[in-house]
Amino acid sequence: MECSLRQIASILKNAGSIVVTAHIHPDGDSLGSMLGLNQYLLSCGKSVQMVIDDDVPRRYEFLPGSKNIVQPQDITITPDLLVVLDASDIERIGAVNRISRVPILNIDHHISNTKFADYWYVNSNAAATGEIILDLLNMENVAINSEIATCLYTAIATDCGFFRYANTTAHTHGCAAQLIKCGVRPHVISEHMETKPLESLTRTLEVLKTLELFFDGKIAAVSIEHSNADSADSTEGLINYPRNIEGVEIAIMFTFADQNTARVSFRSRSVDVSALALTFGGGGHIRAAGCTVIGSKDEVKTKVIKAAAQLIGGKL
Ligand SMILES: [Mn+2]
């Protein structure tokens, strides 16, 4: 059932015991939204557990409360509601999907959302799920402390490229302004996001060597091989290098995690790459999307680049 934000608030109020989760390969938005909402629910006296079927990347460990996020096998409460944040389909939450047969409430901003939940609020105009969580807390007149503010600011800022991407709106900036008034120090968050271990730079150099251009330089691709694919910490953001090349319409990053599976990320300047990702069973936003493709390295690359070329009206 599609819900208004007010209905979402009352479903949350009526639940006693809640598991909150978000998508695997967690990013700033999924983690920040989860941590912000968790604090609110705790303040309402709920029994809450935050669960992600994945490790929390090291650079997000500064977020207040991140140490309390557990993996599915460590859930200790019996929930009467499962809240799924920032995930557009049920597959995105991994094994959390199998914890119990409780009603699912989904809050998300992906245009490709499959409306899989029992109750959903999807606002694709929001730059981040964190923006929606802030709207919810404001609607409930919650006093936002600096910890909640830090989580929600990180959620919003990371999903809009620190206010540089096309999804940045006046409302996004309004949220940021409010959160700064609540005690966020933007430069501290930026430093946590930008500081990387030396190995990360070494990997970047290796990945950039794989750069390939197709279709008159309108498509640019980089590939991350097996040995470099293990740490999402050091590969996030690499797709911005091909994306920023002059003349490139679609940037693609292939991550070959094992022999027969590739994670594929897309970024575009204008075309709808969420549609492209959807044709491979994935999803995302108009200018940033992703999918998983089965096949050998060459098969995956050929299939995906061909589909991308078709999207911008070209033949290879
Ligand atoms: Mn998001």
pLDDT of residue 233: 58
Q: Residue 30 in contact with residue 160, Cβ under 8 Å? A: no
Q: What residues are paired with 290 via a beta bridge?
A: 265, 283
Q: How far is the CA of 54 from the centre of ligand 1 (A)?
A: 17
Q: How far is the CA of 149 from the centre of ligand 1 (A)?
A: 17
Residue found under tokens 């075309």:
271
pLDDT, one tens digit per residue, over 149-186 is 999 999 999 999 999 999 999 999 999 999 999 999 99
Q: What residues are paired with 223 via a beta bridge?
A: 254
Residue 2 and residue 284: Cα distance in Å, rounded?
Answer: 19
pLDDT of residue 314: 58
Alpha helices by DSSP H, 58-212: 129-139, 146-159, 170-181, 186-194, 198-208
pLDDT of residue 229: 55
pLDDT of residue 313: 84
Question: What is the phi/psi pair of residue 42, to 5°?
Answer: -60, -40
Q: How far is the CA of 23 from the centre of ligand 1 (A)?
A: 9
Q: Residue 58 in contact with residue 145, Cβ under 8 Å? A: no
Q: How far is the CA of 222 from the centre of ligand 1 (A)?
A: 23
pLDDT of residue 200: 86
Tokens of 73: 């096998």
CA distances from 156 to 24, 64, 99, 142 (A): 18, 16, 29, 18
Q: Which residues of the chain have pLDDT under 70?
A: 226-234, 314-316
pLDDT of residue 232: 55
Q: What CATH number labels 198-311?
A: 3.10.310.30
Q: Rounded to a whole number, what is the distance in angstroms from the first to the last CA of the chain?
A: 43
pLDDT, one tens digit per residue, over 202-220 is 989 999 999 999 999 999 9
**Which residues line ion ligand 1, judged by CB < 5 Å?**
29, 86, 128-129, 159
Q: What CATH number labels 5-193?
A: 3.90.1640.10
Q: What residues are paired with 117 via a beta bridge?
A: none
Question: What is the phi/psi pair of residue 217, to 5°?
Answer: 75, 15
Which of 169, 188, 214, 229 minimizes the C-alpha distance to 306?
A: 214
Q: Where are the domains of the chain?
A: 5-193, 198-311
Per DSSP, the three-state class of 124 is coil
pLDDT of residue 174: 98
